[in-house]
Amino acid sequence: MAIASSDTAIRTGRFTRTLIYVVLILFVLFYMLPLYVMLVNSVKPLGEITGGGMMSLPTAFTLEPWAKAWSTAQIGVEPTGLQPYFWNSISMVVPAVVISTTLGALNGYILTKWRFRGDTILFGLMLFSCFIPFQIVLIPMAAILGKLGLSGSTAGLVLVHVVYGVGFSTLYFRNYYAAFPTELVRAAQIDGAGFFQIFWRILLPSSGPIIVVCVIWQFTNIWNDFLFGASFASGDGAPMTVALNNLVQSSTGVKEYNVHFAGAILAAMPTLLVYIVAGRYFVRGLMAGSVKG
Amino acid sequence: MASAAETDFKTRLQHWIPKLVLSPSLVMVLVFVYGFILFTVFVSFTDSRILPFVDKDGQRTFDLIGLSNYEKLFRLSHWEIALTNMAVFAGLYIVVCTIIGLTLAILLDQKIRGEGFLRPLYLYPMALSFIVTGTAWKWFLDPGIGLENIVQTWGLTSFEFDWIKDRDFAIYTVVLAAVWQTSGFVMAMFLAGLRGIDNEILKAAQMDGASNWNLYRRIIIPQLRPAFLSAFVILAHLAIKTFDLVIAMTGGGPGRATELPATFMYSYTFSRNQMGIGASSAVIMLMTIAAIMIPYLYAELKEKK
Amino acid sequence: MGFLDINNVTKSYGTVEVLHRVNIAVEEGEFLVLVGPSGCGKSTLLNMIAGLEEITSGDIRIKDSVMNGVHPSNRNIAMVFQSYALYPNMTVGQNITFGLEMHGVPKPEREKAMADVARLLQIEQLLDRKPGQLSGGQRQRVAMGRALVRNPDVFLFDEPLSNLDAKLRVDMRTEIKKLHQKLGTTIVYVTHDQIEAMTLSTRIAVMNGGYVQQLGTPKEIYDTPANLFVATFMGSPSMNLINVTVQVDGNSVYAKTQNDQGKDLRLALYEPSEALKAFDGKDVILGVRSEALTDVEGADQRSSHVEVIRNTVTVTEPAGSDTFVATTVGGAECVARMRADTDVSPGQQAEFAFNMEKAVVFDPETENRIQ
């Protein structure tokens, strides 16, 4: 008995354990409920939903709502489906993630390995920028994007997401590189490697995990953003989240709940896929962004 | 001091490159964050209604009016509702998320079989957009097709659940969806805290005859203080920033029943053309978050040195 | 003018000066060890020689050219770090040749240099492995290989053995010493371990509080420590320090104190200097190393001045090769080093032989040795 429980100090009886499992499974049901609702209702005809069958499995299975949500649903004025907005999001997310991650990696490298007077204050300024309510920058941002001729464009959104994403990516890389032995950098200096050579040859090859963490975080955040998308790109250039909201809120015609659910899954799909494939890194990113800043 | 003349080219170059590489990010943050904050503060002192600030003829479209936007703001019943809702929402959201997160973390920490399977199921909502979450909950809670309708078709015809359409209760449905989204994350934070506790301390406490209940109450939970603090700060700042969820679920309604400062700012600035007031509400939001975040970040950065 | 000159070098962080006017001249082929407790400034000094930290004032010269402001890679130095600092993503071979690659040495030459070094250090079979697959001793060798391949003017070692376990540390110590004897390179070596300092060095700089306390050969440092700090820091067990009063009696000078029974003791000091005579009637500190305080049979037969006292044994610590015996003289705890089979036990009276030839005297005010 002493051996069996040697790695934990807490012992529980059989009854307590059963209770624990029951509670844990009830919570699983709670967390899975909306996903279940979205999934089953996205593959049944509208009549089954309005007839009170929201919780039951579809009796007449159909992919019609998915097809409609993707390519023919009325969004705004045009019946284009979510498809063009999906590509808007992709072409916004990819450059924004690449740029903010690259900048974050370089910043983290500098703030830990090339320290200078006042670097902590600079980092503090960057860090605080991650947590501001973005309402505080909406007005001047709208004005500047207008001036630059970037209103409503994907390029404008890329700029916005890089600016407000660089704080977090810097945070990730700074914390990661802080644990990277400074002696390695010194050895490389003595060996004659310069600033970029040290970064490229010594640090970057060891940065795989944090790059994954950072890319996933930025991808999820930028893909899921609604505020900037709604403020600066509400027309044809809108990202997926804004389009989905327009679809769901549209007050004309019959409410096609099944199409809404299919659209919601389409909007959730990329981030959900990332979560399924690399959930471990996603959680690491969440933790790194909260505990121990 | 080694004079500059003696310092070789490579050393001097290596001295400047890092600062050079850092400067674009720095300029970006200084201009787009801190510059813009100052700009919004400035707008909040003007009677601006819509963009641009300068009309076609190069004339200013606004006047400086001092603090009167703030006076007006705090006299608006709309803003008062938003603040009251914020207090209800943030209070419940933080408390319920913490309770659920801590409970799940403690339960999962009991050498649970299948922990690796359960944990991702609790956490996946964090990967979803609030618009998606909002859509799912909006229709699930809709009395016409959702929960009320479902239970009624099960035979309980007298069952009523129309909170999302009820002015007095709609805000609680937003709390429910928000808790659903983030409580798994809070669980992960507490779980990390629990895993960080030295097992030998627990063994020592058991030798001293502590029951499980006392072990948690007296030894473990007090040691989770940093996790509580982090959870509070993160949840509080998420609460103040909550915007998408309300837009997707209720659009601020019914009436103004789920209006929050973030939605208030948005509608005053972009749909009601009261930019000065919108700006002043954004400033209030920023100050609230700053009051929470700055001491926290300061302590964290200080600790690291 | 030496091979490596450290002239009046100081280091300050802001207003805090951490190194004060250090002057050391290292000859070609010398093995200089900087030793001292943590925070004494020894690593800072080493980093300044390497060019990893700026020199606040003074200058450092290698082969008579000033190194202030010269990039580390252009000083023709090599460094072995405490953590070895092997690049984790590169193989052993790439680790060794990285510096040459950065200096634009063509590949065939690099390969040849690597092969030579690998043969010298017997790491040929490791060249394709990653550092993570190596044992501590192997990493140590690779780190030395990386330094050797550059064929530098000066080797810098920053506590290179402190991450190894006790046995390996002794082996690697011998190996470093052999390498130095074989190659005759100039080495500056930082350690906090006084045994490493004694065994490896040709000269030692004992540092404390940012000052060089004493610079000398291991024998000078050990036998004639400049002050109380050096006396206690170097040697294990550390030097016995007994409060005594100086008594001049004609040509002889005595150290007066009491044994643990309160009986007066009078120990004749060997070849007293005039400076010491000036302390007549004053309190001074008598320093006796434990090997100069023995049982009568174990006393140095060549010593002309052995004083024997009777005193109570408080503790005995058999260490295998010797037995350390503690006793109280003049109110101070003293440790005597006796033969392993000495038959004494705590509480017993025993005879203790002071080899006064090896005794030194310190001024309690200045803490310096009275010469």
What one-character-per-residue DSSP string does C31-97 give?
Answer: EEEEE-STTSSHHHHHHHHHTSS--SEEEEEETTEE-TT--GGGTTEEEE-TTTT--TTS-HHHHHH
**Shortest Cα–Cα distance, A168 to chain C (Å):** 26
Q: What is the CA radius of gyration of chain B?
A: 26
- For the segment B23-51, the average pLDDT, to the nearest whole number, is 87
- For the ranges B155-169, C118-132, C179-193, the lowest mean pLDDT is seen at B155-169
What torsion do the CA atoms of C101, C107, C111, C114 make, to the nearest 10 degrees?
-10
- For the segment A248-260, the average pLDDT, to the nearest whole number, is 80
Among chain A residues, the shortest Cα distance to C147 is held by A191
What's the predicted TM-score (pTM) here? Answer: 0.85
Q: Where in chain C is the domain with CATH 2.40.50.140?
A: 240-362
| Mean confidence (pLDDT) of chain C | 90
- CB < 8 Å to C54, chain B: 2
Q: How far apart are CA A34 and CA B132, in angstroms?
A: 10
pLDDT of res. B55: 67
The secondary structure of chain A, three-state, reads CCCCCCCCCCCCCHHHHHHHHHHHHHHHHHHHHHHHHHHHHCCCCHHHHHCCCCCCCCCCCCCHHHHHHHHHCCECCECCCCHHHHHHHHHHHHHHHHHHHHHHHHHHHHHHHCCCCCHHHHHHHHHHHHHCCCHHHHHHHHHHHHHHCCCCCHHHHHHHHHHHHHHHHHHHHHHHHHCCCHHHHHHHHHCCCCHHHHHHHHHHHHCHHHHHHHHHHHHHHHHHCCHHHHHHCCCCCCCHHHHHHHHHHCCCCCCCHHHHHHHHHHHHHHHHHHHHHHHHHHHHHHHHCCCCC
Asked if residue A293 has pLDDT above 50, the reply is no
Chains that touch B (3 or more CB pairs under 8 A): A, C
**Shortest Cα–Cα distance, B15 to chain C (Å):** 11
Among chain C residues, the shortest Cα distance to B3 is held by C69
- CB C79 to CB A197 under 8 A? no
Percent of chain B with pLDDT over 90: 20
Residues 139-198 of A with CB under 8 A from B: 139-143, 146, 162-164, 166-167, 170, 178, 189, 194-196
Among chain B residues, the shortest Cα distance to C11 is held by B1
Asked if residue B178 has pLDDT above 50, the reply is yes
ipTM: 0.86
Higher pLDDT, C287 or B110: C287
pLDDT of res. A106: 95
Range picked from B161-170, B252-261, C240-249 for highest mean pLDDT: C240-249
pLDDT of res. A11: 66
Q: How confident is the model at residue B304 (pLDDT cuts 50, 70, 90)?
A: low
pLDDT of res. A104: 93
pLDDT tens digit sequence for C153-188: 999 999 988 888 888 888 889 989 998 998 888 999
How far, CA to CA in Å, does C253 sit from each of C180, C240, C249?
45, 20, 6
Q: Does A127 touch chain B (CB under 8 A)?
A: yes
Q: Does B6 touch chain C (CB under 8 A)?
A: yes
- CB C71 to CB B8 under 8 A? yes
**Closest CB from B2, B4, B11 relative to C71:** B11
Residues 183-202 of B with CB under 8 A from A: 184-185, 188-189, 192-193, 199, 202
Element housing C360 (H / E): strand C360-362
- CB C85 to CB A186 under 8 A? yes
The span from the first CA to the last CA of chain A, in angstroms, equals 41
∠ CA B37-B43-B46, rounded to 5°: 155
Q: How confident is the model at residue A3 (pLDDT cuts 50, 70, 90)?
A: very low
Asked if residue B5 has pLDDT above 50, the reply is no
Both tokens of B255, joined, read 């009436």
Element housing B175 (H / E): helix B170-195
pLDDT of res. B138: 87
**Shortest Cα–Cα distance, C354 to chain A (Å):** 48
**Shortest Cα–Cα distance, B43 to chain A (Å):** 9
Q: Does A87 touch chain B (CB under 8 A)?
A: no
- For the ranges A11-15, B52-56, C224-228, C334-338, the lowest mean pLDDT is seen at B52-56
Chains that touch C (3 or more CB pairs under 8 A): A, B
- CB B247 to CB A245 under 8 A? yes
pLDDT tens digit sequence for C72-83: 888 899 999 988
Q: Which residues pair with C24 in a beta bridge?
A: C6
- CB C85 to CB A191 under 8 A? no
Contact status, residue B22 vs residue C84, Cβ threshold 8 Å = no
pLDDT tens digit sequence for B225-259: 888 888 888 898 888 888 889 888 888 778 788 88
Q: How far apart are CA C24 and CA C201, in angstroms?
A: 15
pLDDT tens digit sequence for A207-229: 988 898 889 889 999 999 999 98
Among chain B residues, the shortest Cα distance to C59 is held by B2
Query: How do C283-288 and C322-329 pair as beta strands?
Result: unpaired
Both tokens of A88, joined, read 């808007």
Q: What is the CA radius of gyration of chain A?
A: 24
**Closest CB from B1, B6, B11 relative to C66:** B6
Asked if residue C190 has pLDDT above 90, the reply is yes
**Closest CB from A181, A201, A206 relative to C85:** A181
- For the segment C327-350, the average pLDDT, to the nearest whole number, is 88
- CB < 8 Å to C74, chain A: 192
Contact status, residue B241 vs residue B8, Cβ threshold 8 Å = no
pLDDT tens digit sequence for B202-218: 788 777 777 778 888 88
Q: Which CATH class is domain A83-288?
A: mainly alpha
- The residues spanned by each domain of chain A are 14-64, 83-288
The CATH architecture that domain C4-233 belongs to is: 3-Layer(aba) Sandwich (3.40)
Q: Does A186 touch chain C (CB under 8 A)?
A: yes
pLDDT tens digit sequence for B85-137: 999 999 999 999 999 999 999 888 888 888 888 888 898 898 899 999 988 89
Write the CB contacts of A208 (distance below 8 Å, at least 6 apart in sequence): none
- CB < 8 Å to B3, chain C: 69
- CB C57 to CB B14 under 8 A? no
- For the ranges A242-251, C93-102, C120-129, the lowest mean pLDDT is seen at A242-251
**Reading across the β-sheet that carries C31-35, which strands appear in turn?**
C77-80, C154-158, C186-191, C31-35, C203-208, C211-216
Among chain B residues, the shortest Cα distance to C75 is held by B8
Q: 3-state DSSP call for residue C252? A: strand
**Closest CB from B6, B10, B14 relative to C68:** B6
- CB < 8 Å to A206, chain C: 88-89
- For the segment A62-79, the average pLDDT, to the nearest whole number, is 81
How far, CA to CA in Å, does C84 sit from each of A26, A186, C46, C123, C146?
53, 11, 15, 15, 10
Asked if residue B52 has pLDDT above 70, the reply is no
- CB < 8 Å to A123, chain B: 301
Percent of chain A with pLDDT over 90: 27
pLDDT of res. A251: 67
Q: Does B16 touch chain C (CB under 8 A)?
A: no
Count of CA atoms in the C-beta half-sphere (13 A) of B133: 30
**Closest CB from C69, C71, C73 relative to B2:** C69
The secondary structure of B199-211, three-state, reads HHHHHHHHHCCCC
- For the ranges A144-148, B58-62, B90-94, the lowest mean pLDDT is seen at B58-62
**Shortest Cα–Cα distance, A241 to chain B (Å):** 6
Q: How confident is the model at residue A117 (pLDDT cuts 50, 70, 90)?
A: confident
Contact status, residue A258 vs residue A51, Cβ threshold 8 Å = no
pLDDT of res. A99: 95
Higher pLDDT, B110 or A158: A158
Q: Where in chain C is the domain with CATH 3.40.50.300?
A: 4-233
- For the segment B25-29, the average pLDDT, to the nearest whole number, is 91
- CB < 8 Å to A181, chain C: 83, 85
Asked if residue C248 has pLDDT above 50, the reply is yes
The superfamily (CATH) of domain C240-362 is: Nucleic acid-binding proteins (2.40.50.140)
Both tokens of B191, joined, read 């779980």
Percent of chain A with pLDDT over 70: 94
- CB A164 to CB B33 under 8 A? yes
> Which residue ranges form the domains of chain B, and what is each CATH number?
76-273 (1.10.3720.10)
- For the segment A72-98, the average pLDDT, to the nearest whole number, is 87
- For the segment C257-278, the average pLDDT, to the nearest whole number, is 85
Q: How far apart are CA C5 and CA C65, in angstroms?
A: 9
The span from the first CA to the last CA of chain C, in angstroms, equals 28
Q: How confident is the model at residue A6 (pLDDT cuts 50, 70, 90)?
A: very low
Phi, psi of C244 (to 5 degrees): -135, 165
Among chain C residues, the shortest Cα distance to A117 is held by C14
- CB < 8 Å to B16, chain C: none
- CB < 8 Å to A186, chain C: 47, 50, 52, 72, 79, 81, 85
- CB A260 to CB B139 under 8 A? yes
Residue C132 burial (10 A CB sphere; 0-12, 13-18, 19+): exposed
**Shortest Cα–Cα distance, A53 to chain B (Å):** 7
The span from the first CA to the last CA of chain B, in angstroms, equals 26
- CB < 8 Å to B192, chain A: 287, 291
Chains that touch A (3 or more CB pairs under 8 A): B, C
Higher pLDDT, A47 or B242: B242
Among chain C residues, the shortest Cα distance to B15 is held by C71
